[in-house]
A and B are shown apart, each in its own frame.
Chain A
Amino acid sequence: MLSYIARRLAIAIPTLILVSIFVFVLQKLLPGDPALVLAGEERDPQMLEFIREKYRLNDPIIYQYVYWMKAMLQGDLGVSLRTNQPVLELIGDKLPVTIQLATMAMIIAFVIGIPTGILSAVKKGTAIDYIANIVALSGLSIPNFWLGIMLILLVSVNLGWLPASGYESPFVDLGRSLKTMIMPAFVLGTALAATLMRHTRSAMLGVLKADYVRTARAKGLNETIVIIKHAFRNALLPIVTLSALLFGELLAGAVLTEQIFTIPGFGKLIVDAVFTRDYAVVQGVVMCTAAGFILMNLIADVLYFLLNPRMRASL
């Protein structure tokens, strides 16, 4: 097991290095001179030169990459060109927000997706199954940003039930924190619920055919108990691994949702940084989300390994 994890981590390193090269090259290719953005409206030539020197924008790109890598390995991600704030500190500010949003979205997805998935598998071929499937596909097909706009319009502007934007830490004011997060979490959650529902359904269908479920039924056990205790427990494996993967994607996948609900998380940070050519922030945050993504992939695989009785037996 440990050697498996070690091997996976070893593969992750070249992947991360490649990510770093992509990100670096890509944004160096971006048109627009960050010095012009940073120098202010007056664009004093002396200032332009100073900024180019300070951020080494005049150096060959390979040198710039090496400087950045070297600093990063020492735990220094640089400072935001826009606000002078250390990127590491920024990530520390934004990560909890994004994790809270992702967690709430996952909870909503579980609450909606898993029961409907089970129901649809148990009632396979009936109208319920059919409707559940259509609803799930609809959840997948609604553009997040449109759903977000429509919800703001309906819930905040017309009905005035929830704040239209903003963020409050749950440690400061839990009620307000939940109130500001519930709509964006719902927007993200609906799409995830659809994916979860479909996977739950197919996993359940597989399990329901299995011998031990038939045995349990034959023993005359209550059908609900059979479904929950015998079938669902065994169908849980792919759901858990899938959830880890989805969570990994959420770390940077809420870009537009965060933008629309003005949530100060990773997604908003990156997009704003791309548009203001805040190189250090783009690099730092993308590295961070990529590492998170790879980590969640690894966790998914490890969970699969640990939860799968057959694979455990082979250990």
Chain B
Amino acid sequence: MRKKLLAALLLSASTIITPALAADLRIGLQEDPDVLDPDQSRTFVGRIVYASLCDKLVDITPDLELIPQLATGWSWSDDGLTLTMDLREGATFHDGTPFDAEAVKANIDRSQNMPESRRKSEVKSIESVSVTGPLQVQFKLKNPDATLLAQFADRSGMMLSPTATAAVGTDFGAAPVCSGPFKFVERIQQDRIVLEKFAEYWNADAIHFDKVTFLPIPDTTVRLANVRSGDLDMLERLAATDAASVKADANLQYEEAVSLGYQGITVNVNNGPKGDNPFGNDAKIRQAFSLSLDRDAINQVVFEGAFAPGNQPFPPTSPWYDKDYPIEARDVEKAKALLKEAGYDSLDVEVQVANNPVQTQMMQVVQSMAAEAGFNVKLKSMEFASLLADQSAGEYQASQVGWSGRVDPDGNIHQFMTCKGGINDSKVCIPEVDKLLDEARVSTDNAVRKAKYDEARAILIKELPIIYLYHPTWIWTLSSKLEGFTPYPDGMIRLENVKLK
């Protein structure tokens, strides 16, 4: 009895002596996330919240190596059809449900079978999950799938409390229960999402904040003003044009990482009758268009040099980038000659663009560059919802869109460039490319995969169904009071080891 009392006293004393814990963190987001259910959610910004709320089976390092999170180790069978994972001992969900093999099985089942699940395509290679021990699971695959582990480093690998999912089903997003470092407190749409520290977190020692509040503030200038005034401690996605002023401010810290995604111009090659035009039919004309652009100048004028110019689905800094095809320097004469070869002195091209000021600004720069090579670019400004609809229906000639990027290279290319790819809006279809990209999917040897991607690149760089332009850089701005923040190319905010100075 006395011992217990003493322990209690010590415990309360220890909480008193550690005032560093009594800290709140306020983070400004560019958008309001959608539903907070990893199986149903679809926005990039939602994943930023999950990084604090929901642990995944595996995580990535800033160099994109896969490392343990809820799974402590894994191994592939020789045929690549069985993945065995050992799970972390002592991890618990926010509602007290212990994390174990059964929980993993239930989560994969939900991702695969809940009608509302947006994760189906990510885990479709899984044939079955068997519980081979209290803390060990085995995934049997229908076919070898090198991308699966990377999927487990994202929403498909996020573990939700099976007690909660069984109780509330599709309403999980109203009060998500995961096993991450912070647990859900409340959400007011378009205003805030509040999380508080989860004391039983397996890695609680690395967490130095009691409360985290995410505030969606779409206007970049306003978001920055809030960090400057101290109303926010951190923001994500600083406008590149504000970078200089942040770097010059002693009260602020500037952090950046080139993203996994890209921005480009998708050309309608064969998506319905609208693809039947010179720009869609003749690869030479697309090459001419690409040559007419000075990607460095675009980056300088629109993004003050903060982004990364690009010509492939992977940024030049990525290990998957094909160095045999570096970004070509602008060559207006060669562009004109190519266009002439194709039989035109000048050509009208209609490009649709989302009606936000930055994309419009960027496309106006493209427009004026391409004009010098003889392209008469007409910009068709559209709301994003309309743009998406027209693009998927083939009601477009060319469309300026981007991709937020995936950890595994497959996610940046397969679904866009294969004949039956789900987001292949240009409807490019080259059997050779299909074969290479399918093969790259199944090998677990990165060298083999890289060779396949390079081989596909040699074809696609000439076909140009997507004219890649640049890779955005994630830019964070932090108050100088904070330390320990690490930028990741996936754009997430990982709060482990972040603390007040």
Contacts and interface: CB of A to CB of B under 8 A. Distances in A.
Direct contact of A and B (CB under 8 A): yes
Interface of A: 30-34, 36-47, 50, 54, 80, 82-85, 90, 93, 152, 156-157, 160, 163-167, 260, 262, 264, 268-269, 272, 275-277
30 contacts: A31-B386, A32-B389, A36-B388, A41-B404, A41-B423, A42-B122, A42-B422, A42-B423, A43-B392, A45-B422, A50-B115, A80-B189, A84-B171, A152-B221, A156-B225, A157-B225, A157-B228, A163-B226, A163-B229, A164-B225, A165-B223, A166-B191, A166-B226, A260-B219, A262-B217, A264-B188, A269-B190, A272-B32, A275-B383, A276-B385
Contacts of A80: 189
Contact of A152 (B225, B386, B404): B225
Contacts of A90: 189
Contacts of B36: 83
B35 A41 contact: no
Contacts of B102: none
Interface string B475-500: 00000000000000000000000000
Interface hub of A46, A85, A152, A166 (most chain B Cβ within 10 A)? A166
B174 interface: yes
Interface hub of A44, A83, A264 (most chain B Cβ within 10 A)? A83
B341 interface: no
A93 B188 contact: yes
A157 B189 CA distance: 26
A42 B231 contact: no
Contacts of A54: 115-116
Nearest to A85: B189
B428 to A, nearest CB: 17
B76 interface: no
A270 to B, nearest CB: 11
B154 to A, nearest CB: 12
Nearest to B36: A83
Contacts of A30: 385-386
B interface secondary structure, majority: mixed
Contact of B219 (A84, A262, A264): A262
Interface of B: 32, 34-37, 40-42, 115-116, 118, 120-122, 170-171, 173-174, 188-191, 215-219, 221-223, 225-226, 228-229, 231, 383-386, 388-390, 392, 403-404, 415, 422-423
A42 B32 contact: no
The list of the 4 closest CB pairs from A to B, nearest first, reads: A40-B42, A32-B385, A264-B191, A164-B225
Contacts of B415: 42
Interface hub of A31, A41, A167 (most chain B Cβ within 10 A)? A41
A interface secondary structure, majority: loop
Given A43-B422, A44-B121, A83-B34, A32 B383 contact: yes
Contacts of A31: 383, 385-386, 389-390
Contacts of B385: 30-34, 36-37, 275-277
Contacts of B215: 166
B422 A264 contact: no
Given A47-B120, A262-B218, 11 more contacts: A32-B386, A36-B392, A42-B118, A44-B121, A45-B422, A46-B120, A83-B189, A152-B221, A164-B226, A165-B223, A276-B385
A156 B229 contact: yes
Contacts of A34: 385
Given A44-B121, A272-B190, A82 B35 contact: yes
Given A41-B423, A160-B228, A152 B222 contact: yes
Contacts of B120: 44, 46-47
B173 A83 contact: yes
A33 B35 contact: no
A82 B34 contact: yes
A47 B170 contact: no
Contacts of B231: 163-164, 166
Contacts of A156: 222, 225, 229
B189 A264 contact: yes
Interface hub of A38, A42, A45, A80 (most chain B Cβ within 10 A)? A42
A44 B223 CA distance: 34
Contacts of A275: 383-385
Contacts of A83: 34-36, 173, 189
A55 to B, nearest CB: 12
A293 B115 CA distance: 40
A38 B216 CA distance: 20
